Chains A and B, each alone.
Chain A
């Protein structure tokens, strides 16, 4: 079945350093989503990428969708303490009758910031 792998599992960075997490799928994805989960909280939707090679930015966050639509990355420039949390990618698993209703989540990358 479809798998979504995410690396690294953990990342510790000094405040102000950059951070990148990578997501790879075994199959082509129709779209990819990114979520952030603060410690003790619930996942919150960040963004969705749909087009091959698409790049989107949200302030210090840059999201990329690979040309083959099988991989994606999230890059944070100049990390801040507010960036602490776990970042998940998720790709939809197409069903025969109902379209894209099931998401497969990556295992997540837990980001900690050293002040």
Chain B
């Protein structure tokens, strides 16, 4: 199993550009989430999904869109990039099994810089 994969690893955007961060998992996990990590602020939840076709907002959703058309994929779209969105983005998945619920399996991250 590859676990959780993310592409690209690095990205530089200009203000106003749009792009999609890709996330895929091969563990058949129902739950998937996007976090951003900024210095001194830990990990903050952007959007999450509890299954295909179901998404909801997290703590910091503004400027981002998500969709979940399959169990495996959970892309994050930046509609119009702003310098405040410079961050490291992590995708994570988790299983709904009782013993493993909430345990997050993280991807390697995407380091995004917006100029």
Contact = CB atoms under 8 A, between A and B. Distances in A.
Interface of A: 6, 9, 31, 33, 35, 41-45, 48, 88, 90, 92, 98-108
A45 B103 contact: yes
A103 B40 contact: no
A27 B61 CA distance: 23
A104 B59 CA distance: 9
A31 B106 contact: no
A98 B90 contact: no
Contacts of A41: 108
Interface string B41-67: 111110010100000001000000000
B48 A105 contact: no
B104 interface: yes
B40 A48 contact: no
A41 B48 CA distance: 22
Interface of B: 31, 33, 35, 40-45, 48, 50, 58, 90, 94, 101-109
Given A43-B104, A48-B102, A102 B45 contact: yes
B58 A42 contact: no
A63 to B, nearest CB: 14
Closest 8 CB pairs of A and B: A105-B43, A107-B42, A42-B106, A105-B42, A43-B106, A92-B102, A108-B42, A45-B103
A28 B100 CA distance: 20
Given A88-B42, A102-B58, A105-B43, A33 B103 contact: yes
Contact of B40 (A45, A92, A102, A107): A107
A32 B106 CA distance: 17
A103 B48 CA distance: 10
Given A41-B108, A103-B102, 19 more contacts: A6-B42, A31-B102, A33-B104, A42-B90, A42-B106, A42-B108, A43-B90, A43-B104, A44-B106, A45-B103, A88-B43, A99-B101, A101-B48, A101-B50, A102-B45, A103-B33, A105-B35, A107-B41, A107-B42
Contact of A103 (B41, B50, B104, B108): B104
